[in-house]
Every structure is written in C-alpha cells, then in structure tokens.
C-alpha cells in the first residue's frame, strides 16, 4: 500500500503505489510528475510579452484580450486532454485487465481487456527518439491462431517508468496471470 519512488525515462520522479484488494485482484498506480508552476509561469509570461509587443506595434487592445483568452483556453485544453496525472493498472484474475489514465482535470479514460483476449504481459524494448527505453505491454491473443499475437497494448506511455519499476509491476501481474494457467480448463456448461 505504500508508495515507492522511482524515476521515469526522462529523469522525472514518479511514484508507484501497489495495492492488493484480494488474492486475485491487484491495482498498480503510477503517479506522473505534476505540472510545474515555473513552466506554467514561463509559458504564460512568454505569451503575454509577445502579445504586449504586438499591442505596442499595432495599438489594438484586442490583441491583449485575445492573448488572455488564448492562454486560458490553452491551459484548459492542456489540462483536459494532454496532461496525465496518474496511470493505473487493475488486474482481476478471472475477469481481465483494466488500464486507466486520469488527466489533470479529473477526466478518466479507461480500457478494459477481457482475460480471454490477454495472451501475456511482457516488457519490451523500444527506440524512442534518441533513447532505448523499456516499456510494459499487454499482448492480445489472436483468435484464429493460438500462438499468434493480434495486437499489443502499451502501458504507462505517459509516465514511462524505468526498468526497476517495470520489473515490479511485471512480477505483480505475472503472479495473477499464473493463477489462470494453473486453474483447470473450463467445463462445457453453456
């Protein structure tokens, strides 16, 4: 239940909070770095200085009101659509895996993947910009081919934890996924 501090791929501090609700249900939440006040102030000052410069050149006060408007709208759009506050993974043994991203404005976007579609949860390597990073992903089963993978769903894309954090999440998930492998096959009650 306690929070553990890690670092993201770009060096920002993130926190992992694992919770165990029951024997087959675990929730792993990664909290992303918050919006920094200094970056917000820097952007706002830059926009307003530019607007003031335009105002001095054009003598039109609409420029200033437009700048305020743009700043407000831009901030709202950023908080509601771009800035992710927390990403969490809820693994329920016999049900499925649920991936939730909560944005800074409180909006939550959720995806639930049924256990029948989940083949495995693995850590992959990727080349991202100039770095090689590790990321956790869910492999989806291809219905036609038992060995095939139809799709992959990458997790924690916004917080991008480093390998140590990913290993812990991976171990947690695998403990629960193993339970479904050891359980006997379902009977044919239809």
Partner 1 sequence: MDGDCGVLWGKVSPWPLGTGDNGVPWGKLHPWLLGMGDNGVPRGQRGLMGKAKSPPFGDRGQQGPMRRTGSHENNGVPRGKVSPWPLGQGTAGSREDKGIRWGAASTGAHGPPGGWARRSLSAGPAGPRRPSPSPAEGAGRAAGEQRCWVYHCSRVAAMVKQYVSEVQRVTKVNVSVLGSWSNSKQEKEESLSEFLEDLGTIFSHEPWIQISKEGNSKFWSCSTLQKHSNNPKEEEIILVYYDQRKVMLSHLHPPLDTAASTDRKADDASKLSAIFDTVAKSKVLFMTDRYDDGPIKLTHWQSDGVEASIIVELLKQASVPACMLLTFLLSVISGICRSRVLKFWPLSFLWSKLSTCEQLGYRLQHLQVISSNKKAQNESQLMRKANIFVSLLIDVALGILLMSWLYRKNRIGHLADTLIPVADNVAEELQDLLQWLMGAPAGLKMNRALDQVLGRFFLYHIHLWISYIHLMSPFIEMILWYVGLSACLGLTMALCILSDIIALLTFHIYCFYVYGARLYCLKIYGLSSLWRLFRGKKWNVLRQRVDSCSYDLDQLFIGTLLFTILLFLLPTTALYYLVFTLLRLLVVIVQGLIHLLVDLIDSLPLYSIILRLCRSYRLAAGVKFRVLEQQDGKPLRLLMQINPLSYSSVVQTYRLPTYSCYPKDSWTSLCKKLFLGELIYPWKHKGEKQD
User: Where on the chain is the footprint of partner 1 (CB under 8 A)?
Assistant: 21-25, 27, 90, 92-95, 98, 100, 110-112, 114-117, 143-144, 179-181, 183-187, 189-190
**Of residues 61 and 185, the one with the C-beta less far from partner 1:** 185
Contact 88, 63 (CB under 8 A): no
Give 121's contacts (C-beta < 8 A, 6+ positions apart): 97, 136, 137, 138, 139, 170, 173, 174, 177
Minimum gap (Å) between residue 14 Cβ and partner 1: 22
- The span from the CA of 104 to the CA of 143, in Å, is 37
**Of residues 57 and 189, the one with the C-beta less far from partner 1:** 189
Minimum gap (Å) between residue 177 Cβ and partner 1: 10
Neighbouring CB atoms inside 10 A of 161's CB total: 26
- The span from the CA of 23 to the CA of 26, in Å, is 8
**Of residues 15 and 90, the one with the C-beta less far from partner 1:** 90
Minimum gap (Å) between residue 172 Cβ and partner 1: 15
Minimum gap (Å) between residue 99 Cβ and partner 1: 10
**Of residues 19 and 34, the one with the C-beta less far from partner 1:** 19
């Amino acid at each position: 239940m306690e929070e553990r501090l890690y670092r993201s791929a770009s060096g920002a501090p993130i926190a992992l909070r694992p919770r165990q609700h029951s024997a087959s249900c675990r929730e792993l939440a990664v909290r992303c770095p918050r919006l920094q006040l200094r970056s917000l102030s820097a952007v706002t000052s830059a926009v307003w200085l530019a607007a003031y410069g335009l105002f001095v050149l054009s003598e039109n006060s609409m420029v200033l009101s437009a700048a305020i408007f743009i700043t407000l709208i831009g901030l709202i759009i950023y908080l509601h659509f771009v800035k992710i506050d927390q990403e969490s993974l809820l693994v329920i043994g016999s049900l499925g895996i649920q991936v939730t991203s909560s944005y800074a404005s409180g909006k939550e976007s959720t995806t639930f993947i049924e256990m029948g579609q989940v083949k495995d949860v693995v850590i992959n390597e990727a080349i991202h910009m100039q770095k090689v990073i590790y990321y956790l992903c869910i492999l989806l089963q291809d219905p036609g081919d038992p060995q095939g993978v139809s799709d992959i769903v990458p997790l924690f894309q916004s917080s991008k934890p480093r390998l140590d954090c990913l290993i812990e999440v991976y171990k947690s998930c695998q403990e629960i996924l193993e339970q479904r492998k050891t359980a006997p096959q379902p009977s044919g009650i239809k």
